[in-house]
Structure formats: C-alpha cells, structure tokens
Structure 1
C-alpha cells in the first residue's frame, strides 16, 4: 500500500546525495531536449510517495514533468519495469481514459544505466479519503468516488487488441494465487485467520469472464482529481488483462473507513459498495454476486499490510507507523470470513 501524493508535492529540504542522480539528470535533460522541449532545466527533485521505482519532478522551460526511473543497480523488470508503464500510458492516450502524456523515455539493458520515462505533471490531488492526510471534505470525497466508479468502465472498455499485452489474462484463481504467495511470506501470527479465509476463497473461486484491461490498484489514492473530476489515473505498476470484478472488489474496500481501524477514518456520506457497482454498471449487464471479490480484496489488503509489518519488524524497512496495522489486518480478515460464511 502506497501513501498518496499530490501532483505537485516534493520532498522537503535539500535533495540528498543519490547514487547516479547526476547521470540520470543528464539523461532526462537530453531526452526531453531531443523530444523538442527547450529552456532552462531544473535538477531532479524527489517526490513523496510510491514504493516501486524512483519518482522525481523536473521542469524545462515552462513545462513540468514527472520522471519515473528504475533504481540504480536494478533491472527494469516486474514492478520496476518503467518502460512497461510508459507503453500502457502511450497506448491509452486518446481512448478517453484520463492518463498523463508520456513525453520522453530511455530504455537500458544495463543495471549501471537507469531506464526512465518522463510524463506531463498533471495538477490534482491523489488522496484516499479513508486513509490519507490531509482529510478530504466528505462531500468532495463522495463525489470523487462516484466519478471514479463511472470512469472505470472506460478503462475496461479499451480493446485488448489495441494494447501492448505481454501476459496471459489473470483469472480470479490466478489473482488469488498471487496474493496467497504474498500472504505465505507473512508470519502466521501477524495474520491470524488468513489461512481460513484463504481456504474459503479457494473453495469457491468464480469462473472467469471476458478479460479486460485491469489497472491492479484502482482507487482514489491512484487518481489525480481536479475538483471532482479524474484528471489522470497514475501508478500502473501491475496492470494486466484480467477479470473486471477483481478490480471492483478492490475498489470497494476503500469505500468504508471502518475497514481500517487505527490507521484510517470513517468518512460520512461515502457511496455504498452497491451504489458504486451500479454506477460502474450503468446500462450494462448485471455483474452477478461480487461477494467473493469483496472478500478477495480484503485478503489482498491484509496480505500487503502483513508484508509491510513483517518488513518493519525485521528491520528491513523501519517505520513505526506499521505498528498501527494489526487492528486493520484483523478487521479485514474477520470481515472477509464473514462475507464467505
């Protein structure tokens, strides 16, 4: 789970010395100039939030950009595959799906040279109302969530044949297996009841339906909103062809602040999961019972939080705030079990 960032938020203070930053800066400046941009260029300034890859802000002349780069010494694969993100953003341009425009990129097959891409900096807020600070005014939060539910069908309607598909579609069983692996790396005492929730999910996996483009982490924390309108969907690290109901199940987890005791807040007036589903469906066909997908979303979030808590307690990523997670993990697993009882 990543913390949300606004489009124009940068790290406070001076930029720390980062290995390879000077070379990365020179490469980005050259790439942007080759793309036709002119004027005085600024240094790369780290942006807050995000945990897969490096994110910077840079300006050239009157234009401002966000740069996503592979950490020095790592290969451009998996969640660090920046060019894969750039490709899906480029493919979605002109489809009606709001995404930032990619302006330049550099692909490297060496761990000594960083791959990166630069996209327009889009003005807006990416705040999860039930989790992030500052708190979003409840009426505004509700309006943003409703609009996000109405925009999601645009993403799911893009023909897969028009996209740079590089993997087989993920079925509900595939999605479950992915998060079972994550949960399996978490000490059982941190996720009490997860084994039973897993058993119930595995015992009732729905049949897959026609695959669509799935963002993989679709929620307000990954949507830059200008007022109530989605200005850009960001953070495409785990996009894939898959089952749209998986995406809906995940989105609905964030419609109820009571899912996050100790780390979140309850926001009055947010649309119910049922209303979000109806807004998504519009005049389309019925989606059937989404209970299993709701429970899967809770299992997924519990696995992510359990993973983060484990890393903190092992000293791999020290963050005392992770000690607030146990109550939420328990709540997610308990409510997941209730839904599949």
Structure 2
C-alpha cells in the first residue's frame, strides 16, 4: 500500500468525523510520533495524529494515549489543544485544535528569540509546569499508569546509555554507578510531561498557549520533569550546539518560579544530574544509529562534545 493510498484512506475517515467540507490532509513538519497532518474545516484548522498502518499502537505511536491526557487536561490551568475527534479503530487517529504560536528552544533553535521574550517565556512556563504537577492524577479520564520513581527512571535510561558504545560516552559508567548509589527518596507522584521545555510549548508573544508533544507522558516524581526542564537554561550545557542568550533565567531562577514561594525540593542536584545523563544517553543513541547507517544524519557528528559535557557536569553535580 502506497503512502498516498494510506493518506487518502485516513482522509476519508477524518472527513466522516469532522465534516465533508474538510480539506486535504497535509503532512505537518516536525512531527516525530506516528503520522502528523494538518487539515482545514471551513475557518477551523486541526492537527491529526494517526498510527502508521502496519505498526503497533505502542510507545510514541500510541496516539489514543496522547488524546487521553489532552482530554483529561481540557479546561484545566494547563493550556493544551482541545481534542475534536477520536477514532479507536486501528489504525487509530485523533484530531486536535491547531494552536497558533511558535515553539522555540532559546539556546538551541532557529530563529533566535529576543532575550526579553526568551526570559519571559521560560519564567512563564515554569509556572505552567507547577500547574501541570498539581493535576489530580486520580481523574478517571486520565487512566494513569503506575507511578514512575527515581530508581525506575534511572534504570530505564541506564539501559539506553549501556546500548551506546563506551567510546561515545566517556565517564558514563561511573556516572550511572554514582547515581545508583544515591537514589533519593520519592515524592508523591504527579502528572509528568516527560519532555517539558520551551521547545514543546507553543507561545504567542510572551504567553504560553499550548503544551504539545505528549508522547511520553507518565506519572511520577515531579523532580524528573524539573531536572530535564532546568537543563535548557544554559547554552554551556550544549557545547558546539548551543548559543548564548543574554538574560535567560538561571536554573535557580526557574526553580524559584516553579516553587512560587513553596518549600524547596530535596535532592534536586541528583535529578539535575539524571537529566544530563538522559540527554547524554539520547544523543549517544542517535549518534550510534547514524554511524551504523540506520539513520543517516551527518549533523549527529556535532554531538560528542555535548555528550561529554553532559556526563562531566552531571558528575560534578553529584
């Protein structure tokens, strides 16, 4: 079955739910899970996510799971696109409102944001993350999975790191051992985005309008999200990749904005180190796939200095 045929068959199903006036499905650049399209219905515009035909609806292809968390957050203090339609018949798909805005990671992405806008956005989404973590994970609509604790998160990403050749992760084994030796006690589980950062929040001006890319949401220790989010506050964490942004909030300022006067969180340095280990593991995995010819992307050759810096600074934190 050709890709064109698959798209045409999906379009028929989408029009049956959204209306005969729906236009063509157009591939949406930047989608990393399943199939991602945009479609216009009169003056309205939607994003459609679908399971690729022939693939299992698991992991990043489980679009129904993404629809579920968006539905659970509808009307909450966390801005998310509204879900317009869901079809569970495989290959499953759902449609959500097209949120106007831009998602730019200041230290990594083009085009560069003005320093004032970048600073304001990062401080604003720190409060969005706090509100996300205040969500009632017992809500039936969420159908939350078993909570993920620090030890489970470390085990998961240790497996990814171990799959990376040792020469691509200098000091990685020592870092894993030190993290494993000091696993902190857990905090009450909250709703986790899994990849919370400015690059996954659509903004208009300084205002966040939609948190997107919910492929790996889970329930677990709030410091898991926080340690990852704080990583993107400093371009020096990304040698050869990052750019300096004057006035960007420091990790301490972002943490203060998240806490909003509340009590300090214990063991944050451990979770900051964990975030760096995760980034090193992900980059090492991508670089390995490139060098093995599984996903040709010469840009991956820029990653070794950042992988080494992630591991080195994580060990310094510990």
TM-score w.r.t. the length of structure 1 is 0.90
The offset of 1:139, in angstroms, is 1.2
Kindly indicate whether the alpha-carbon contact (under 8 Å) linking 1:165 and 1:241 is maintained by their aligned counterparts in 2. no
Kindly indicate whether the alpha-carbon contact (under 8 Å) linking 1:246 and 1:293 is maintained by their aligned counterparts in 2. yes
* TM alignment of 1:195-274, pairs within 5 A: 195-274=173-252
1:256-280 alpha-carbon deviations (Å, 9 max, x no partner)? 0111111221211111111111110
What is the aligned counterpart of 1:70 among 39, 51, 63? 51
- Say yes or no: does 1:27 pair with 2:5: no
The offset of 1:17, in angstroms, is 4.9
1:123-154 alpha-carbon deviations (Å, 9 max, x no partner)? 00011111111111111111100001111111
- Say yes or no: does 1:186 pair with 2:186: no
Partner of 2:138: 161
What is the aligned counterpart of 1:144 among 121, 136, 140? 121
Number of aligned pairs? 316
What is the aligned counterpart of 1:80 among 61, 75, 93? 61
Could you list the runs of 5+ residues in structure 1 that have no partner in the other structure?
A: 1-15
Kindly indicate whether the alpha-carbon contact (under 8 Å) linking 2:276 and 2:310 is maintained by their aligned counterparts in 1. yes
Structure 1 Cα separation of the partners of residues 280 and 143 of structure 2: 29
Give SS of 1:73's match: coil
What is the aligned counterpart of 1:171 among 124, 129, 149? 149
Structure 2 Cα separation of the partners of residues 166 and 157 of structure 1: 14
Kindly indicate whether the alpha-carbon contact (under 8 Å) linking 2:184 and 2:267 is maintained by their aligned counterparts in 1. no
Structure 1 Cα separation of the partners of residues 307 and 16 of structure 2: 46
- Say yes or no: does 1:335 pair with 2:313: yes
Do the aligned partners of residues 166 and 158 (structure 1) sit closer, same or farther apart at CA in structure 2, a change above 3 Å counting?
closer
Structure 2 Cα separation of the partners of residues 224 and 339 of structure 1: 31
Kindly indicate whether the alpha-carbon contact (under 8 Å) linking 1:19 and 1:72 is maintained by their aligned counterparts in 2. no
The offset of 1:193, in angstroms, is 1.0
1:273-318 alpha-carbon deviations (Å, 9 max, x no partner)? 1111111011322212310000000000011111111111111111
The offset of 1:50, in angstroms, is 3.0
Could you list the runs of 5+ residues in structure 2 that have no partner in the other structure?
A: none
The offset of 1:166, in angstroms, is 3.8
TM-score w.r.t. the length of structure 2 is 0.96
CA RMSD of aligned residues (A): 1.3
1:19-39 alpha-carbon deviations (Å, 9 max, x no partner)? 511111111111212xxxx63
Give SS of 1:140's match: helix
